[in-house]
Amino acid sequence: MEYSFPHYLQSKITVDDRALNKDVFHVLKANLPPAPFSVTEIGAGTGTMLMRLIEWGLLTNTDYLALDEMDENIAYAVEWIPEWAESAGLRAERIAENKIRLQDQTRDIRITLERADVFDFIKRNPPKSDLLIVHAVLDLFPLPESLQKLFLLTKSLAWLTINFDGMTTFEPTIDIALDGLIERLYHESMDTRPTGGDSRTGRHLFSHLESVDVKILAAGASDWVVHSINGKYIADEKYFLYFILHFFEESLTGQKGLDANTFADWLSKRRAQIERGELVFIAHQMDFLVKV
């Protein structure tokens, strides 16, 4: 199988749609200023959060800055966002190389897509947005020291979503001891990344946010739960599951304490479960809305 990170981001749209905590989202809607307002999203990927927030009615008259450090994500977003918008009944106009304007009778959304490392971007002292979105990437950063830098991007609100919180589960069980070992080693690989990261970011954010003196307006679980219905996975979630196993393979191949042949056999059995529509995947995560 060919593994493409933009394809993975697209494949998890429906997974994230279900997972995002709706109570936290409703508090976000209640606290946003009247339109027009501005949004900065870091780690914006292919633009799937932008799409979701348009579909969910959050964005009507908005300047939206989408930052990502991967060229392939920005290149994909530049092509995909206008295609999606046209299918959703919006006029899409490319007003510059990485600038897109989406309009209809009630909506006017001005999008800037920029490839940048977020901390290099912050050093440029950019204008603050009304809302900062950090979606499914905060658990990759060194915390709490990154928070104060990130919060320089917002005038007030920050929506911190899909923060991993220490539980990964595959069902059905292959071997209780082996499954437990692989889960533990995978979490340890998150905790020992040279760039930072924490496999229990979700729960630790309560104290981290307190340490940087921000107010938590809402918090709640945002678990990924993927399973088949009548033996078939919805949308592109079969690819999503294959990519999750790819993450495990990349992280744990050659890992001390894990026999290579045993791990290869485990991966093979898990992939066979996907093909049969048997595999269930659950990951525990948390969402936060904070006022800076």
pLDDT tens for 114-130 read 999 999 999 999 999 99
Residue of 67, 42, 50, 154 whose CA lies nearest to 109: 50
Could you give the CA distance from residue 262 to residue 177 in angstroms, rounded to a whole number?
12
- Cβ within 8 Å of residue 69, ≥6 positions away: 43, 115, 116, 117, 118
- Cα dihedral 268, 270, 272, 273, rounded to 10, equals 170
Q: What pLDDT shows up at residue 195? A: 87
In the numeric block, the tokens 């104060």 are attached to 148
Residues recorded for the chain: 292
- Per the CB < 8 A criterion, the answer to whether 48 and 70 are in contact is no
* 37, β-bridge pairs: 62
How is residue 170 written in tokens?
Answer: 């595959």
- Per the CB < 8 A criterion, the answer to whether 43 and 137 are in contact is yes
In the numeric block, the tokens 């995560």 are attached to 285
Q: What pLDDT shows up at residue 194? A: 87
Fold (CATH) for 5-291: Rossmann fold (3.40.50)
Low-confidence residues in the chain, pLDDT < 70: none
SS3 content of the chain, % helix, strand, coil (to 5): 45, 30, 30
Residue of 24, 287, 249 whose CA lies nearest to 136: 287
